[in-house]
Amino acid sequence: MASVALILKIVRVNFLRRHPVALGLIALILLSALSPLPPVVDAVTGAVSLDLDLVRPMAYTALAPLSNVLDALTFLTLDRAKAFLLLWVPALAVWGLLRPGSRRRRVLTAVLGAVTVPVLAVAAVLLPRPVPRLVVADSAVTVIDYHAHTDRSHDGRRGWTLEDLAEWHAAQGFGASYVTDHNVVFDEEVGEPIRLLPGVEWSVYDQHIVALGGVTFVDRAAFSRDTRAMLRLFAELHRHGAIGIASLPEYWRNHWGDLDAFVAAGVDGFEIVNCAPKAIGFPAGARAQVWRIAAVRDLLVVGASDNHGWGKVTCVWNLSSPSAHGYRSNRVIARSIALAQGDWEPWTAAYTQPWLMLESLSWSERLSWLTWILVLLIYRAVPRRAGDPRGLGILARSLSLKILKLRRS
Ligand SMILES: [Zn+2]
221 assigned to some structural domain: yes
Is there a single domain that holds both residue 246 and residue 330?
yes
CATH number at residue 267: 3.20.20.140
**C-alpha 316 to ligand 1 mean position (Å):** 14
pLDDT at residue 4 in the model: 65
- CB contact at 8 A, 312 and 60: no
Q: Quick: pLDDT tens for 310-338.
A: 999 999 999 998 777 778 889 999 999 99
CA of 148 to the centre of ligand 1 (A): 6
Centroid of ligand 1 to alpha carbon of 207 (angstroms)? 11
CA of 101 to the centre of ligand 1 (A): 50
Clarify whether residues 160 and 287 are in a common domain.
yes
Residues 310 and 405 grouped into a single domain:
no
Q: How confident is the model at residue 364 (pLDDT cuts 50, 70, 90)?
A: very high
pLDDT per residue over 227-251, tens digit each? 999 999 999 999 999 999 999 999 9
Looking at the structure, tell me whether residues 382 and 304 fall in a common domain.
Answer: no
Domain count for the chain: 2
Q: What is the pLDDT of residues 112-121, one digit of tens each?
A: 999 999 999 9
Phi and psi for 48 in degrees, rounded to 5?
A: -85, 130
DSSP string, 300-320: EEEEE--B-S--S--SEEEEE
Q: Residue 97 C-alpha to ligand 1 middle, in angstroms?
A: 43
Mean predicted lDDT score pLDDT of the chain = 90
Asked if the structure places residue 155 within a domain, the reply is yes
Query: Measured between alpha carbons, how far is 212 from 177 in angstroms, rounded to an integer?
Result: 10
Check whether residue 11 and residue 152 sit in a common domain: no
Q: 178, 145 in Cβ contact below 8 A?
A: yes
Model confidence at 385: pLDDT above 70:
no
In terms of domains, do 155 and 298 share one?
yes
42: in domain: no
Position 202 scores a pLDDT of 96
Please state, in angstroms and rounded to a whole number, the distance separating the CA atoms of residues 340 and 284. Answer: 8
325 in the same domain as 389: no
Q: Please determine, for residue 40, whether its predicted confidence score (pLDDT) is greater than 80.
A: yes
- 309 located within any domain: yes
Is residue 353, in this structure, part of any structural domain at all? Answer: no
Residue 70 lies in a domain: no
Alpha helices in 332-362 (DSSP H): 336-339, 349-359
- pTM strictly above 0.75: yes
pLDDT (0 to 100) of residue 406: 63
Kindly indicate the confidence band of residue 379, based on its pLDDT and cuts at 50, 70 and 90: confident
Q: How far is the CA of 71 from the centre of ligand 1 (A)?
A: 20
CA of 147 to the centre of ligand 1 (A): 6
The whole domain housing 4 covers: 1-33+374-409
Which residues face 250 on adjacent strands? none
For residue 38, being part of any structural domain is answered with no
Distance 14 CA to ligand 1 centre (A): 54
Give the Å distance between the CA of 180 and the centre of ligand 1: 7
Spacing, Cα 4 to ligand 1 middle (Å): 66
Burial (CB count within 10 angstroms: exposed 0-12, middle 13-18, buried 19+), residue 161: middle
CA of 208 to the centre of ligand 1 (A): 8
Q: Which amino acid, one-letter code, is at 361?
A: L
Same domain, 162 and 284: yes
Distance 197 CA to ligand 1 centre (A): 15
CA distance 363 to 384: 34
Query: Over the stretch 251-307, which tens digit does the pLDDT of each residue have?
Result: 999 999 999 999 999 999 999 999 999 999 999 999 999 999 999 999 999 999 999
Secondary structure string (H, E, C) spanning 52-110? EEEECCHHHHHCHHHHHHHHHHHCCCHHHHHHHHHHHHHHHHHHHHCCCCCHHHHHHHH
**How long, in residues, is the chain?**
409
